[in-house]
Structure 1
């Protein structure tokens, strides 16, 4: 028997005999899939079969049977033989901070906050594996917010601890309900989205009382009535005897949000590390963050001035009615107007009744839309503003009243016609969702609708040119990757069109979410995974992405990250920054428009520092859950056992060949 088999065998306790007449020792087709199946489920032929010690699976099944035989209902299904140890893998270099976080997470509901690329999934895999061992009849669940993340994490966890694939399963909304019910019955380690979990709990398909460990990825999302919160609320109706491990690159956008996550997920302790924490510095590569502030320029400033005149007409009406208190119209935000509308709805003036109330609601709706356009203009440029306004004026957004009111405003129509002269041609879309004027017309002069675009172009071209100069390899620019983030699809498309002029130096591809818009078709899950695969393998060297590319997906090593817009929430920036600096030094460039966007970015950075200081310095600011269950029975204190685990080859479901008709910005094989 190999060293690995002996070690794994020993972890189940010395009382297990290889020659025990235990079920499941034959290698025939009747071997059960789940170690959680009781003895009564085994066929008589299996009970009579002799043990074959040379089979690793047979040894494991003997061990599982023996462990289950020793189970006591008083201990909630805890196996005392397996529970004398907790296993930590040495097949990856042992890092003290990961070991410490894994140990903590085994014995208390924990929120692990680690910068991206420093091993949150590794810690989760270790914790999941030990609960899988300790509770042979229990279920272990890993939840991630998106289907591609679910697919990625099941493979990542397998590569760490090697839980047999026959015991694991991935479930999504596209998996039929009857199939999911059978998977819940027969498999023990489940990877799924929280929406699927909520549905299966409500239908009774999920054996809630059998869940012993619940891992929650991207846990900062656990706010309000998000599906993560619903899952935990439903589970505690059936049992309190399960461990929660929450994972995130950052705990929340502010202290209030962090407290919400703690409360909603019943967190008893936070394990927080930042880029500057001493114990992770040896394992993290330097990430240089550069802030480039770009003046608006004369043309954009003139459009902004004309747009403010339109804003003044509609915002002034609300100010005069005393339902909008702030009077600094150029510095108002969409969010402030939404808050004012909510306040108006809660406490309407007794003088405003009937039709007047409807008029004010309509004016609020117009102002919210106009201020959204204002933010687009400042952050993304004139083209994004024009595309947004087109949606109002051509009726596709369904805002009939706004369309009529704006049509009667002379200043607005003058501005709208001016933008139409500049961008009407670029709005023409082909059947595949991309601009017909740009398709195949490389020599057409690109119009820079925001000075930030020119700066972005300079940074990207300079990166690839400099890389080629410094590296003598034939592949050159195939060996470096660039990722660009922009919050809106119209901007993503505009950036890609601009960079398309520089092929073959720059081979660009867009990356967006599932939903389809008028100007760009959404990506299915398989298409998203295919784009990520080609980006990692060098089919493209530049990826322009919306926020769908921020969270979790392993897009490989990226040397340059460019953020084309500022984010109010520090979570978004932390997620974006995590895409680089994993294996070598990384560079992050944040391109900001002078004025409001620069102030937003500075405030976001200040918020991030405040959160980390509050959590690390004075933990009394936060109120932690005091009822974390003791999953290990009294009197048992599992000892650390380090062992080398050899994982097999992960066999994913074979993806179908994708011929993406809507992917105009692809550049394959240098052609």
Structure 2
């Protein structure tokens, strides 16, 4: 088998295996650790020293034992606060939560009843009791956020919070809220943030550090002296394949049609004709800019706001909205052509990089959309190019066309079995359909030799039910116990899951995300020398995707190697927590909590309202002290909060009055509320689109509303179901080719 080694990968990943003699083996032993269960590794000990007293971001390649570092720090904190103090472990998915529970039970010398798992499936009153009685609480962040917001328990006695897969701490993700709440409430806070890849550049890493109040960054690579002796050799091979002439022929037809649609943008100066490469993201960002500009259109003429709004745009030289206004362009045509170009680029990607079944399936979806009167799909389906593609697909030589990457993958598996005697192989692919196809083809090619099984996530699509957590665990256990030899997995296997003893991984396609690239690659070489194969179709999107991922990883490493360029949290005040006073309702019995839970719900609503008031006031106070506030004031901007002298007491009193008024109104409308009909969020979105884009008479064309809904991923059968629902409930009304907005769902 011809293999092309990547010199970059080989340089950075090849390492000599170092056998650790049994007489050199040591263990971590401590009061709250089970004796002789965790093997000593010097780099983990070095990391532990650095993060014992500071909020730390630990960046380690997948496979170097981030979970063990968390366990060691938990043991130290349990020892410091012998009888009191809680540990909170947060992970983004239920399988990861279950994995942390297993690790704690396996390594910690602590009664298992004190280690608890909280999920949304457990009733709120039981979660209150569980949190109160546990030393270690493991959960997804949204569950804890919901409970904290409602005052069910406090984070003030949590002596350590662990954020697993910390790169998710962005925007409104629950990690962001919980870190802020934790630092505010706890006198002796300590944060441990774990990830293999914190972000692609300085801005992303800085945002993560800000959101988690990071004081200290610890970054380890395979090259570090204290790491080298514990790792195994990882050879990375770039497996490049040439596309057959029939695929290239169809690909060129798609490219020609794409170039024709591209002229719509270049002729109107919406995109530069000199640009070398256009991706799906190009047109997605263009549509996002246009939507954003329409939403805040009037503010773009305000000089004080313009600079801030421009920062939110992807295209700002000039902004898309200025070109649209200057040339009086049809906004809906722009959205429609964006959708057409995205569809064509996606079709081309499927053809060049996946099994032809996925390409044909996507064309069928476009045909279905056309039948549902989707303009962007009809533009493709009605073209001569599409008819030519269909005629080529019907020809004999295209009927059973197999992508060359599949042949190469089967050869790699064969070599792994015969040459390396390896029966633990992990194949990554982006698409569930491809995972199923590869599973079938591997089993057909190697009957009675190996068994392949697909491994997918829990979410359910129109075409396929996801795997339950129980099913995922069963498959991983079968893989661990040698009942399964090859896993064909989607992205669910990239993040955090303990998939053991994988000696070879195969990327069916490269991914443009540096996070996913690092996580995939780290699945091998954990316990023995490993091999990583990356399949690349020449002259396809595989090539730029691989280059982009490597470039992002290089940029990330350059920031982490020199963390002094980052602005980290300083002077965070800490003092030892005094546990003499009982926390909240610690003296209340479990029976009383369960008995009085219904009455507690009223209190929770009040707490949520009060928290909202505090947040509003805090935001107003913070803003009034900012440079931006002074800048706007100097520009002549007047703020309502200044005019009315808004204070916390005034806001609270107004809210209380509103509550009383609402209470009286509710008594009158009791019957209506009892029979209130649930309105799906998709129906709400359609109503909101009708309200936003209708003219002064509340009228919008049915075709226009469909196009707008399509941008919100409400299309085809889904659109008609929720559109009819909104009409039935008299929020909107259809009259021939127009739709009339009647009332807001609010």
Q: TM-score, normalised by structure 2?
A: 0.65
1:338 is aligned to 284
Q: 1:528 aligns with which of 472, 480, 483?
A: 472
Higher helix share: 2
CA distance in 2, matches of 1:419, 1:266: 56
Give the structure 1 partner of residue 99 of structure 2.
Answer: 152
CA distance in structure 2 between the partners assigned to 1:553 and 1:383 by the alignment: 30
Measured in 1, the distance between the counterparts of 2:371 and 2:183 equals 42
Matched with 1:107 is: 53
User: Which residue in 1 is equivalent to 2:174?
Assistant: 227
Alignment pair present for 1:380 and 2:354 = yes
Cα distance in 1 for partners of 2:274, 2:109 equals 62
In the TM superposition, what whole-angstrom CA distance separates every residue of 1:556-578 from its partner, at most 9, and x where no partner exists? 10111001111112221211122
Corresponding residue of 2:77: 131
Question: Contact 2:506 / 2:533 at 8 angstroms: preserved in 1?
Answer: yes
Structure-1 separation of matches of 2:115 and 2:566 = 36
Question: Is 1:605 matched up with 2:550?
Answer: yes
TM-superposed CA distance for 1:484, in Å, is: 0.2
Alignment of 1:394-543 (within 5 A): 394-395=368-369, 400-416=374-390, 418-419=392-393, 447-468=400-421, 480-501=423-444, 502-543=446-487
Q: Which of the numbers 155, 179, 184 marks the counterpart of 1:208?
A: 155
In structure 2, the partner of 1:556 is 500
How far apart in 2 are the matches of 1:396 and 1:154? Answer: 49
Q: 1:274 to 1:423 in 2, by over 3 A?
A: farther
CA distance, structure 1, for counterparts of residue 332 and residue 115 of structure 2: 55
CA shift for structure 1 position 600:
2.5
TM-score w.r.t. the length of structure 1 is: 0.72
Structure 2: unaligned runs, 5 residues or longer: 1-28, 294-318, 579-746
Q: Note if contact 1:482-1:560 (Cα within 8 Å) is conserved in structure 2.
A: yes
Q: CA deviation at 1:177?
A: 2.1
Structure 1 counterpart SS, 2:532: strand
Q: Is the 1:243–1:631 Cα contact (8 Å) retained in structure 2?
A: no
Contact 2:86 2:157 in 1 (8 A): yes
User: Structure 2 CA distance, aligned partners of 1:397 and 1:567?
Assistant: 33
Task: Determine the C-alpha separation between the residues in 1 that align with 2:439 and 2:94.
Answer: 25
Q: Pairwise mapping of residues 133-212 of structure 1 onto structure 2 (< 5 A)?
A: 133-135=79-81, 136-212=83-159
Q: Give secondary structure in 2 for the equivalent of 1:612.
A: helix
How big is the shift at 1:327?
5.0
- Once residues 559 and 73 of structure 2 are traced to their aligned partners in structure 1, the CA distance between those partners, rounded to angstroms, is 27
Give the secondary structure class of the aligned counterpart of 1:132.
Answer: helix
Q: CA deviation at 1:255?
A: 2.7
Distance in 2 between residues matched to 1:103 and 1:368, nearest whole Å: 50
Separation (CA, whole Å) in 1 of partners of 2:218 and 2:527: 23
Say yes or no: does 1:592 pair with 2:536.
Answer: yes
How far, CA to CA, are the matches of 1:325 and 1:258 in structure 2? 31
2:211 to 260, 264, 269: 264
Measure, in 2, the Cα distance between the counterparts of 1:123 and 1:87: 12
In 2, the alpha carbon distance for the partners of 1:148 and 1:461 equals 31
Asked whether the equivalents of residues 435 and 490 of structure 2 are also in contact (C-alpha less than 8 Å), the reply is yes
Q: Is the 8 A contact 2:206 2:567 kept in 1?
A: yes
Per the TM alignment, residue 551 of structure 1 is displaced from its structure 2 partner at its CA by 1.1
Shift in Å, 1:510? 0.3
Match in the other structure for 1:325? 272
Partner Cα separation in structure 2 for residue 206 and residue 256 of structure 1: 34
Asked if 1:309 is matched to 2:252, the reply is: no
Q: Is the 8 A contact 1:144 1:217 kept in 2?
A: yes
Kept in 2, the 8 Å contact 1:511–1:549? The answer is yes
User: Could you list the per-position Cα deviations for residues 530-586 of structure 1 after superposition, in whole angstroms to 9, with x for gaps in the alignment?
Assistant: 111111111110000000001111121011100111111222121112211111111
1:71: which partner in 2? none
Quick one: higher RCO (CA 8 Å, sep 6+), 1 or 2? 1
**Shift in Å, 1:373:** 2.5
- Corresponding residue pairs, total: 519
Q: 1:151 to 1:307 in 2, by over 3 A?
A: same
Q: Partners in 2 of 1:497 and 1:320 — Cα distance?
A: 47
Task: Mark the CA change 1:218 to 1:419 in structure 2 (over 3 Å): closer, same or farther.
Answer: farther
Deviation string 1:474-509 (CA, Å, 9 cap, x unpaired) is xxx6xx200000111122122222212122223110
Q: Which residue in the other structure is 1:32 paired with? A: none
In the alignment, what sits opposite 2:66? Answer: 120
Unaligned runs of 5+ in 1: 1-6, 12-85, 426-446, 469-476, 635-671
Report the Cα distance in structure 1 between the residues aligned to 2:92 and 2:396, rounded to whole angstroms: 40
Q: Distance in 2 between matches of 1:594 and 1:632?
A: 60
- Note if contact 2:238-2:535 (Cα within 8 Å) is conserved in structure 1: yes
Contact 1:300 1:381 in 2 (8 A): no
- Using the alignment, how far apart are the partners of 1:534 and 1:628 within structure 2? 47
TM-aligned CA deviation for residue 165 of structure 1: 0.8
Deviations 1:632-654 (A, max 9, x none): 589xxxxxxxxxxxxxxxxxxxx
Would you say the 8 A contact 1:144–1:216 is kept in 2?
yes
- Residues 353 and 398 of structure 1: is their aligned pair in 2 closer, same or farther, counting only changes over 3 Å? farther
RMSD: 2.8
Deviates more, 1:398-407 or 1:382-391: 398-407
Cα distance change of structure 1 residues 95 and 467 upon mapping to structure 2, 3 Å threshold: closer
Would the alpha carbon gap of residues 415 and 459 (structure 1) be closer, same or farther in structure 2, given more than 3 Å must change?
same
Aligned counterpart, 2:565: 621
Partner of 2:616: none
User: After superposition, what is the alpha-carbon deviation per residue over 1:432-461, rounded to whole angstroms, capped at 9, x for unaligned?
Assistant: xxxxxxxxxxxxxxx454221111111112
Local SS of the residue matching 2:281: helix
